[in-house]
Amino acid sequence: MYENTTVYVTPSPVETSTETSTETPTPTPSTSSYCPPTVPTPVVTVCPTPGVYTFPAETVTVTNTTTVCGAATTILTPGVCSYGGVTTSVTTSTTVTCPFATVITSDEVETSTIMTTTYVCPSAGEYTVVPHTTTSVSETETCVFPTPSEYAPGTYEHPEMTITITKTSEVYVCPFTKPTPTPESTPESSYTPESTPESSYTPESPSTPTPESTPSTTYVYEAPSSSEVEELPSATPSDSYSSGISTNGHQWAMSYTPYTSEGSCKTRDEVFSDIELIASKGFTTIRLYATDCSGLENVGDACEASGLSMIIGIFIKEDGISGAEDQVTDIVSWGKWDLVVMVVIGNEAIFNGFCTASELAGFISSCKTAFSAAGYSGPCTTTEPLGTLQEAAGALCDVIDVVAANIQSFFNPSVSASSAGEFVASQLELVGECCPGLDAYNLETGWPSRGSSNGDARPGHEEQAEAIGGILEAVGDHSVIFSYGDDLWKEPGEFGVEQSWGCGDIF
């Protein structure tokens, strides 16, 4: 593996062991009131009846690093389910001291408590420090369970939120976020070789030019001769979300952003032309990173016209989760769920330092509640480089429905174009191991056509066609090819490749 590798009730500061009483506020339609928290634990509310609920804006200032007993939510499906617990990976023998949250019942009163445990890891490997909780349910339900949450000094806030609840006793989580200061300077590349770098989308500087003319090369990937669309098989039909995803042989999805090479928004006609061309190349699905530039409306209508499905996204950037809230509203207002096969909440947001794993987990949970209330029943997830995903899996696995990473083989200097498919397949297996039982996907993968070599990884049109052909043969039915067009607005970045991932012309 190339990159190094690893839920709220009523708060109370803790050093070793602290108890805190659990009380769930009950809002009423159109308005909601509760005691302002002293630390920014997300507000977990059981909405007793269908209706419109308003959660007021709140700001909390933390002056000292504080650990509290918070709460997380997860969706339990019929059958035996597991949640919570703490798993860690170590590279040598060591002793791990870990806080964990539990519920103690005394005289019919439930108390959420933070305790600590010490675990001796005798050698390198993965260890379950705190066991998962296992239960059995007869129907799908939302489970709220305690977890330790640490908050650094700072000001946390959540905006006023108005949501529509359509089910009885539905759980809504309203998380706080800590605004992330804008960096003084932006690095040329989002990646370093030590962290499995991958070419990533940055919505502030949009992409996707009109495809260049096809270069003269003998390496042109040929789509499967069969035009038959087949349903993706599922290893666990009862729990899997793969049944809504269709592929065309080894081809599934291509990433797309509705921008010109200069960074302006493409016209509706230009978007329709691009999407029609992508459909003609054998792809069944488009991955859209964000909602700006009328992406949902234009790309959505174009996909509908061309018979394509969509992976839609919420892009988290420097202003953190609070800056992404409007995209949730945009998606709910748009609401063409029949086109959507997956929602990706955050693209390398943890890796880039735009939010923590626990903040992202809370945001994913609240997004899922909003989307479910609006009629969406498909999978929600996030995506990170593999090493970041391995470190954050403990916080994320309970709130995502499928597990995903961005796998860019070019940034491993020992991987040549001819071995890219084998490498990506091995990395995708590790992605699946991060959250056992969840289907694994590679949501961004490709090869640059221009730039400087990175060891055995050499950019070029021929190499790009060879690498992508190998990736499609190995794991194409679980991979999103990056990207439709070159990103000429980007800085060249490391190895001078950041502008040159467009591959629409090789199909």
How would DSSP label each residue in 109-145?
EEEEEEEEEEEEE-SSEEEEEEPPEEEEESS-EEEEE
Site of tokens 């792809």:
283
User: Could you tell me which of 12, 56, 9, 49 has the C-alpha nearest to residue 29?
Assistant: 49
Catalytic residue, candidates 444, 463, 466, 494? 444
Give the Cβ contact number of residue 48 at 10 Å.
14
User: What pLDDT score was predicted for residue 71?
Assistant: 66
Asked if residues 208 and 258 have their Cβ atoms less than 8 Å apart, the reply is: yes
- Contact in structure between 428 and 386 (CB atoms under 8 Å): no
Other Cβ atoms within 10 Å of 18 Cβ, number = 18
Q: What is the pLDDT of residue 166?
A: 66
For the question of residue 444 being annotated catalytic, the response is yes
CB 70 within 8 A of CB 37: no
What is the mean pLDDT for each group of 10 consecutive residues in the chain (507 residues)? Answer: 33 34 38 48 75 81 75 70 75 81 75 79 80 80 74 77 70 62 37 35 36 33 40 39 80 94 90 96 97 96 96 96 94 96 97 95 95 95 96 95 97 96 97 96 97 95 97 97 90 90 93
Catalytic residue among 3, 170, 198, 348: 348
Which phi-psi region, left, alpha or beta, contains residue 411 (left: φ > 0; alpha: ψ -120 to 50)? alpha
Alpha-carbon gap, residue 382 to 371, rounded angstroms: 15
Whether 426 and 412 have beta carbons less than 8 Å apart is answered as no
Enter the pTM of the model. Answer: 0.57
110 is catalytic: no
Ordered domains of the chain (ranges, CATH): 26-174 (no CATH), 193-231+240-506 (3.20.20.80)
